[in-house]
A and B are shown apart, each in its own frame.
Chain A
Amino acid sequence: MASVDIDAVTKRYPGAGEDTIKGIDCTIEDGELLVMLGPSGCGKSTLLRMVAGLERITGGAVRIAGDVVNEREPKDRNIAMVFQNYALYPHMSVYGNMAYGLKIAGLPKAEIDARVQQAAELLQLDHLLERKPRQLSGGQRQRVAMGRAIVREPRVFLFDEPLSNLDAKLRTQMRVEIKRLQRRLGITSLYVTHDQVEAMTLGDRLMVMNAGMAEQIGAPLDIYSHPASLFVAGFIGSPAMNFLPGRVSDDATSVRIGHQTVVTDKARGQAGRPVTIGIRPEHFSLADTGNADRRVDLHVDLIEQLGADTVVYGQIDHAGDVVLARLPGVLTLTAGDTLPLTIDQGQLHLFDPETGKNLW
């Protein structure tokens, strides 16, 4: 068991003009699962590989259980990693794959047997121990990769997009299994993914990364309800948050979207300034007679019936930007209708159009 400290870590590849990782600080508590989330090329895998010892750390320090591990070989860091392509040894059986690290560590045969057997049962692999990786399905390979990590009883688990090679159904299933397993074993884990659903459901905390920087670190729901920047707001949540250009009224009590006005507390102190208004599709609701001061009219272009929800595509005040609203239940609408909606004002976000920072 151990905490992981990432302390002002930077990475610059030889010959590169700028840093790939531009100074990241984060502490992963003992037993916590931190998900590093971001688009491809944001540096999340690089950061994970630096913790693993597969990439050199240019600046800053990585500490595992308080010890600086910058100069330690991967094998001396007491970590285990699950790779995106599983990286199973193709010439070894499932048993051989799981036992490899233990054999190298020089454990007695009985102990190796016991540990592999235990992990195999945990992962329902006990009937497959003699198979070669090529005889396994994708989900089984994934479990073997997990098993290989578990048997070593490491202090830290590293996951590098472990589910991205699986089909959608299996991914959901494995996601739950990983979560359950990590809870049960209580091993500090770092998990890299570009899938925000995976991140939301798995992580105790998320680190949303963009262009080599940590845009925001926090619990999934905190990030969902208080995104620190436009980038985070757009990346977390599906369908993505709507962004509309607007302006705060001169008395700082409301924002204007085109000709429509929405009253919000968040406008306080921002009198007259231009803002980017962010509102999630699920935070619209059908307008009733009250709340007239938080009402907008949506001009419907297209609707998608999902059964449980109805997704409405349209424009507010013909402002040009497409707005999505996700409303519960089945609604019968046609293109050209005008749909009066209420905005949940606590869920309205105002961003600085220049810096992208959340103003609240």
Chain B
Amino acid sequence: MEKRVVFRSASLPYLLVLPQIAITLIFFIWPALQAISSSFYREDAFGLSRDFVWLQNFERLFADAAYLASMQTTAVFSLGVAALSMGVALVFATMADHVIRGATAYKTLLIWPYAVAPAVAGVLWLFMFAPTVGIVSFALGQIGIDWNIRTDGDDAMLLVIVAAAWKQISYNFLFFLAGLQSIPKSLIEAAAIDGAGPGKRFWTIVFPLLSPTTFFLLVINVVYAFFDTFGIIHSITDGGPGSPGATNILVFKVFSDGFIALNLGSSAAQSVILMAIVITLTVVQFRYIEKKVHY
């Protein structure tokens, strides 16, 4: 049954949603339009003159090896973050699902990293892995592993992936745990009676039933890796090492091209592309969730 609130005055509902609309317009729509319009211009570094260049900014981007490299870096980074954080979260959630005593404390502790700001998380991991002062780098050096995020691009990539994934594990954990707990216990029992051992039960019953959650989290994590990891990259590697930067993901490149190199037109064009990507992901997400999921 659907319950609708009916307002007697026609203007009241609009008045009530006005603040939300105002915020959306001022902080989201307006900057987005600004970015779209800037992407059609070429501007000098001092903002004294601008030329309308049609789609030249975009054409140049797709012809630019550095930009294509950054796309590839982003793909590796976001898939790495999504896979690592979701994998670890799923393991934790499966174990937490079995915990009876102290379950609440356990869950609360697992959720803490989510509250850490990206830049702080970045600094934390940097301190552990910095080539000169990092305790983990030192320990690795002692056992003969040469770990240096300042010189080795793969080392740097690995570290930012781990740092970014670490922050996201809590979030994924919560969703996976909720997903696991919504699977009726009798299904697991029925599978046990049908002869399936714990591993078989997980892969043939639990995992398929979690697939809506998994898909949802995949999109969320990719979006997170695309956009919310700027602070981590900025504080740990600054997009480096090397040129093109081994960890120079798209969102970081928007920043460095726009605010460091002051190539505003190109930076705006890059943000428009990112916008298109996130809109696509969101649409896919909604479509899928509307269609499937309900067992």
Contacts and interface: CB of A to CB of B under 8 A. Distances in A.
B189 A90 contact: no
A299 interface: no
A85 B208 contact: no
A89 B187 CA distance: 7
A75 B193 contact: yes
Interface stretch (A97-105, A119-127, A234-242): A97-105
Contacts of A52: 189, 193
A85 B184 CA distance: 9
Interface in B171-226: 184, 186-187, 189-197, 200, 204-205, 208-209
B186 A85 contact: yes
Given A87-B186, A90-B295, A91-B295, A81 B193 contact: yes
A74 interface: yes
Nearest to B294: A134
B196 A104 contact: yes
A328 B147 CA distance: 94
A104 B195 contact: yes
B295 A74 contact: no
B186 A83 contact: yes
Interface in A69-120: 73-75, 79-81, 83-85, 87, 89-91, 100-101, 104-105
A307 B115 CA distance: 71
The majority secondary structure among interface residues of chain B is helix
A143 interface: no
Contacts of A280: none
B189 A54 contact: yes
A148 B186 CA distance: 14
A101 B197 CA distance: 11
B194 A101 contact: yes
B190 A75 contact: no
A152 B189 CA distance: 16
B194 A87 contact: no
B195 A54 contact: no
Nearest to B190: A87
B211 to A, nearest CB: 8
A79 B295 contact: no
Contacts of A152: 194
A100 B193 contact: no
B209 A54 contact: no
Contacts of A104: 194-196, 200
A275 B234 CA distance: 88
Nearest to A77: B193
B70 to A, nearest CB: 39
Nearest to B207: A91
B195 A87 contact: no
Interface in B83-101: none
In this complex, the member of A52, A53, A81, A152 whose beta carbon has the largest number of chain B beta carbons within 10 angstroms is A81
A100 B197 CA distance: 13
A83 B194 contact: no
Nearest to B187: A87
Contact of A80 (B193, B205, B295): B193
A100 B192 contact: no
A100 B189 contact: no
B204 A74 contact: no
A134 B295 contact: yes
Given A83-B186, A85-B186, A87-B186, A74 B200 contact: no
B49 to A, nearest CB: 61
Contacts of B194: 75, 100-101, 104, 148, 152
A105 B194 CA distance: 9
Contact of B191 (A53, A80, A85, A100): A100
Interface string A248-275: 0000000000000000000000000000
Closest 7 CB pairs of A and B: A101-B194, A90-B295, A87-B186, A87-B190, A75-B195, A104-B195, A74-B193
